[in-house]
Structure 1
Amino acid sequence: MKPLKIRQGLLSILLAVALMVAGCNGSPTESATSDNVNPVGDSTVSPVAQTQNSSMSNLPQLEGKATVVMTVNGSPITIEVDGTAAPVTAGNFVDLVNQGVYDGVAFHRVVREPQPFVVQGGDPQSKDPNVPMARLGTGGFIDPGTSKERYIPLEIQPAGEEKPLYSKTFEEARIKAQPKLKHSRGAVAMARSRLPDSASSQFYFALADLPFLDGSYAVFGYVTDGMDVIDNIQQGDRIESAKVVEGLDNLKK
């Protein structure tokens, strides 16, 4: 049994590395030579670090929960967005949905082999059909108010704690607890580069339980209906529409 356990452990490590270093079309075999990180991100991005006491106050926050319905391939996906444990991350997502940022955006990264992993989208560049697929995964939301890309801090709440940890992974903060929002199948989380505070608009759906990502990436909600739709998403499929159907009054700007 030991060799099996070792192989399973190595597979989890390879998937985690793929998540951290693969580009938009990255695969575990490409990850060893790629400089890009997480589900995806541009390694050249250097956002200003955000903390709980500084520019985070300028970001939208969700006080409570909200429900988002995405339509993909003509079928709905219902997401419960949890601002109780991830107010900034959830607020950013609900705000982008409400602005129509995700309407027409493609899923540029789908990883199901060697085992179910993630379906990732949210790069606004993908709205332009002339942008090559190889470039997708490097873009984020440009705030029209500042004409700059909006970044949000890494935000993960340890189980049993009243507030989230910001701008550090659990490993960096030496936290042994589990996160309140885990990477179970159907989790929705933010993609980022190697920099903790570099998430913008890209997100991913977990296709399976991914405990090796817990404490490193920010989960902000869960799919409550429509996982069968996600299971059938292919690279290049688009979000036809995304709407906040409940809880928009919990969004504070």
Structure 2
Amino acid sequence: MLKSILKKSTALLLAVICTLSFTTSCSKSDKTESTGKPQVQIEMENGDKMVLELYPEYAPETVNNFVSLAESGFYDGLTFHRIVKGFMIQGGDPKGDGTGGSEKNIKGEFSGNGFEQNTLSHTRGVISMARSQDPNSASSQFFIVHADSAFLDGQYAAFGKLISGEDVLDKIADTPVEANPFSGEVSVPTEPVKIKTVKVLSK
């Protein structure tokens, strides 16, 4: 009888251990593991969302600038004003025509400007800073690469990458566009592609 009780107790104990192990493994798999890197979410006016992971190890000042602008609400209500399918989508201009920015310009953190630590390539989903001919003219405008564009490497400050929402990137890239009256580039959306908010998820 004692053996029978011991067997039952052992079986019960094993069942409890297995249940606890299963519960623990389930709870871990249900959570998105943090990489310790900053993450931001771009939510569009229609509810579509893109989440980007930012890489301060490549472009620290660029990341800090983008996070600061997002936290201040700077990007809320702005648009993707320049869209070239198979290349990139560009936004972050308060004027909405490619000529505006914030009150601050930052150093161009890319190798062509003497910043060798930025080796992040402009592959699909990478976010990078737009600028004028002046290498230190980046401000608030950014672009997300729609298709690999290695020719931009070393000339623009790439600083993060999409970790979810590539379907949203494709959807925005499919927006009907017309010619820019000044440059002739066919990249101006025929209808506003509006950002509802850019939210910092983690820093």
TM-score (norm 1): 0.56
1:65 CA displacement:
2.5
| 1:150-182 CA distance string (max 9 Å, x none) | 0001102xxxxxxxx5xxx16xx5x9x895211
- Structure 2, unmatched stretches of 5+, are 1-35, 176-188
Match of 1:244 in 2: 200
Indicate the residue corresponding to 1:137 in structure 2. Answer: 98
Q: 1:179 to 1:150 in 2, by over 3 A?
A: closer
Q: Secondary structure in 1 aligned to 2:95?
A: helix
Supply the AA of the counterpart residue of 1:245. Answer: L
2:160 aligned partner = 221
Partner of 1:223: helix, strand, or coil? strand
Partner of 1:232: 171
Q: Distance in 2 between matches of 1:74 and 1:240?
A: 8
**1:111–1:178 distance in 2 versus 1, CA, 3 Å:** farther
Return the match for 2:134 from 181, 195, 220.
Answer: 195
Q: Deviations over 1:187-234 (max 9, x none)?
A: 000000000000000000000111111000000100110011011113
Q: Is the 8 A contact 1:178 1:214 kept in 2?
A: no
Instruction: Spell out the pairing of 1:1-253 with structure 2 (5 A cutoff).
Output: 65-72=37-44, 73-112=46-85, 116-126=86-96, 136-141=97-102, 149-156=103-110, 165=111, 169=112, 179-233=118-172, 234=175, 235=189, 236-247=192-203
| 1-structure distance, mates of 2:118, 2:76 | 30
Q: Which amino acid aligns with 1:99?
A: S
Q: Distance in 2 between matches of 1:84 and 1:243?
A: 21
1: CA distance, partners of 2:140 / 2:105: 8
Number of aligned residues: 150
AA aligned to 1:241 is T
CA distance in 1, matches of 2:153, 2:38: 23
Sequence identity, in percent? 45
Contact 1:70 1:239 in 2 (8 A): yes
Q: Is the 8 A contact 2:58 2:117 kept in 1?
A: no
Contact kept in structure 2, 1:97 and 1:244, CA below 8 Å: yes
Q: Which amino acid aligns with 1:151?
A: N
Whether contact under 8 Å (2:109, 2:118) holds in the other structure is no
RMSD: 1.8
Stretches of structure 1 that go unaligned for 5 or more consecutive residues are: 1-63, 127-135, 142-148, 157-164, 248-253
Q: Determine helix, strand or coil for the equivalent of 2:38.
A: strand
- Alignment partners' CA distance in 2, 1:209 and 1:137: 22
**1:182 partner letter:** S
State the structure with more CA Rg.
2
SS in 2 for 1:89: helix
Deviation at 1:82, TM superposition (A): 1.0
Deviation at 1:124, TM superposition (A): 1.2
In structure 1, C-alpha distance between the alignment counterparts of 2:117 and 2:61, rounded to whole Å? 20
